[in-house]
Amino acid sequence: MRFKDRTAIVTGAASGMGLLTAQKLAEEGAKVVLTDVNLDAVTAAAEEIQGKGGEAVGVQVDVRSYDQIKEAVALTVEKYGRIDILLNSAGGCSSRVFGRSEPFHELDIKVVDWGCDVNFKGPIYFCHAVLGQMIKQKSGVVINMGSVEGVTGSRSLDYGASKTGMIGLTKSLALYGAPHGIRACCVSPGPVLTRPAMAKMKTRLGRAAEPQEIVDLILYLCSDKAAFITGANYVIDGGRSVGGP
């Protein structure tokens, strides 16, 4: 029960690694506020956790809306009195989400805006909204979900740039939060089996990661075992980014 009496906010929590992390945090004692743009899915995810004896609430949040983010943070503080963990997991490659195959320079700029807003501005908005409470309680952990493509670059320019930005955001958060007992880390996965297509992406280890392998790292960084770790980016990509022939 590493997270007993702790409260976590997880974005993008209706599916994928956001959902799995929320479930595992709840299993280990955390009170979890799941946020996602999909109201039905995030409500069902919270109810599933409740059905297994965990404490959770699902809230509809579009991370492009600062007002919705502020409301979710206020609800968390009102209901649980604190915010110990923020996992910025919401995101996605804009061209895939919108089913677009044309080159970047031919994309509708609204698609590019979506990618920048969801993958980068949303996490900044959430950090802005939670930091006051974390400073007040003199503790907190922020985990930002990056990507190997934030390290290597990406042909999806808005995605790669945003994920590189998550590394910089993490370093800046570490500087800003350290005097207040707040840590920040970035987790940058390679291909993960949250979608079948991920299995086709090459890694040095010859496979994609199981989602639980990524979540295990996230949970460690959220825990007291990682109390001396802040500002770091953890690449967990099966060697995809190491270079060489």
Contact 190, 200 (CB under 8 A): no
- List beta partners, residue 82: none
- Band (197; pLDDT cuts 50, 70, 90): confident
Amino acid at the residue 38: N
Query: Which pLDDT band holds residue 200 (cuts at 50, 70, 90)?
Result: confident
Which tens digits make up the pLDDT trace of 202-230? 899 999 999 999 999 999 999 999 999 99
pLDDT of residue 171: 98
pLDDT for 3 equals 98
**pLDDT for 114 beyond 80:** yes
Cα(183)–Cα(85) distance, integer angstroms: 10
> Does position 245 have pLDDT exceeding 80, yes or no?
no
Flag whether pLDDT at 42 surpasses 80: yes
pLDDT in tens, 14-41: 999 999 999 999 999 999 999 999 999 9
- Give the alpha-carbon dihedral of 54, 218, 173, 117, to 10 degrees: -80
Residue with tokens 């590493």: 2
**Predicted confidence (pLDDT) at residue 50 exceeds the cutoff of 90:** yes
Q: Over 80: is that where the pLDDT of 244 sits?
A: no
pLDDT of 175 reads 98
Residue ranges of E strands in 160-216: 182-189
Question: Model pTM?
Answer: 0.95
Per-residue model confidence (pLDDT) at position 198: 82
Q: Which fold has domain 7-236?
A: Rossmann fold (3.40.50)
Q: Which residues are known to be catalytic?
A: 159
Residue 232 pLDDT: 98
Domain boundaries along the sequence of the chain: 7-236
What's the rounded mean pLDDT across residues 36-53? 98
- The encoded tokens of residue 162 equal 């945003």
> What angle do the packed helices 122-137 and 157-177 form, to 10 degrees?
10
Distance CA 120, CA 163 (A): 7
Half-sphere exposure of 95 (CA within 13 A, CB side): 15
Mean pLDDT of the chain: 96
What pLDDT is recorded for position 195? 80
Nearest one of 126, 165, 178, 120 to 9, comparing CA atoms: 126
Looking at the predicted structure, is the pLDDT value of residue 243 above 90? no
Which of 84-88, 100-104, 158-162 is the least confident region? Answer: 100-104
DSSP class of 66: H
Q: What is the mean pLDDT of residues 184-191?
A: 97
